[in-house]
Amino acid sequence: HGPVRNAVNPERNAGGSSGGAAAVVASGIVPIAAASDGGGSIRIPASHNGLIGLKPSRGRVIVGPGSYRGWNGATVHFALTKTVQDTRNLLFHMQECQMESPFPLPKLSYEQLYKTEKIKPLRVAVLLKSPVGEAVSKDSVDAVMKIANFFENHGHSVTILQKDPVDGVDLQKGFYIISAVETALMFQNIERQLQRQITRDDMELMTWAIYRSGLDISGMEYSKVASSWDNYAEQMAQLHEQYDVLLLPTVAQAAPSLVPYQLSTDLQSELGRIDDFTKDQKQQLLWEMFEESVADTPFTQRFNITGQPAISLPVHRTKDGLPIGVQLAAAKGREDLLLQIAEWFEQEQLLQVTKQ
């Protein structure tokens, strides 16, 4: 069927991987669409299409049995919406405390989720720089600063962080290791179902490269990365002892062109014969393969890794009318705070949701 088109500008990309869900909501076909988020796949399409995109805390929404540890717990299921009320209602009814799961989370009460009192003074931390050291567009920075100033003008404390609490490059490299192993496992399960071996002709080149690289990663390497995820979670938990919310871009750029990332001929050739390379060389090829896309979307993955809730809210438009969201993150389990802030923004008419 070809690439999914952006609902605001059909010559632009809808984002991924829940771009189809975003497109049908933004275009007015449905008010809510189910989506999943393993590295930003709810929040990135929300930003590109002018929607509300909440990634709940790890353990908030039912995922098992049999799939508790999808992508080592990074993947969360939820939805894309146009109103805070729909987001809140959906979360209230979808949440479940699964005591048998590896990461149970107490349910949010009705009183917690449907707070009506005025927001207490917040301590807001702001991150503006890309965690992987790439450029961030003026529109993305302007969107964040618009909200930072709004907080400050309403009596909340705002601090622009000069140093990121986590190493974004190491975090991203570890994310690729986990996703490669999980992709390899997925295709091995598919092979059992098909009762035949998966071949290069069964999938796109980039997927093939991820799959083949995942076959080489040892259990010790996987465990080492999983332990680093715990360290990132601790670093962010320490941040939230000082600050109630973290404000940062959802994406570094507005929605890119319809087919945005064209791999060089040389890189395509190397990916096609990826089995000829060593394990470390394969990981380097994955880094090069995703270099452009992660430069555009470097802000979302950390919250899948730490398990925190994060929400993208549509608060800005470029001069060409393209939506750009800002991202708010809170301590694990505090979706109630994010939704309380989102409702406040909605009441103050800060949200520029796409109307179709």
Averaged confidence pLDDT in the chain: 97
Of 143 and 356, the one with more pLDDT: 143
Q: Which domain holds residue 142?
A: 19-347
* CA distance readout (Å), 315 to 195, 211, 351: 49, 37, 5
Q: Is residue 61 part of a domain?
A: yes
Tell me the average pLDDT across 189-201.
97
Give me the number of domains the chain comprises: 1
Structure tokens at 154: 């309403």
Instruction: Indicate whether 190 belongs to any domain.
Output: yes
For 98, how many CA atoms within 13 A lie in the half-sphere containing its CB? 17
Judged against a pLDDT cut of 80, whether residue 20 lies above it is answered with: yes
Structure letter (DSSP) for residue 250: S
Per-residue pLDDT of 295-341, as tens digits, reads 999 999 999 999 999 999 999 999 999 999 999 999 999 999 999 99
Please tell me the predicted confidence (pLDDT) of residue 67: 79
pLDDT for residue 63: 83
Collect all residues with Cβ–Cβ distance below 8 Å to 151 and sequence separation of at least 6.
Answer: 122, 124, 158, 247
pLDDT for position 256 = 96
Range from 82-96, 131-145, 257-271 carrying the lowest mean pLDDT: 257-271
Calpha distance 245→225 (Å, rounded): 26
352 lies in a domain?
no
Q: Which has more pLDDT, 2 or 214?
A: 214
pLDDT of residue 311: 99
Rounded distance, CA 206 to CA 99, Å?
37
pLDDT of residue 237: 98
pLDDT band at 62 (very low <50, low <70, confident <90, very high): confident
Q: Residue 229 maps to which CATH number?
A: 3.90.1300.10
Q: Once rounded to an integer, what is the mean pLDDT over residues 236-253?
A: 99
What is the pLDDT at residue 215? 98
pLDDT at residue 260, as a whole number: 84
Q: Phi then psi for 78, rounded to 5 degrees?
A: -160, -125
Nearest-angstrom CA–CA distance, 12 and 260: 9
Determine, yes or no, domain membership for 14. Answer: no
Tell me, yes or no, whether 355 lies in a domain. no
Residue 9: inside a domain, yes or no? no
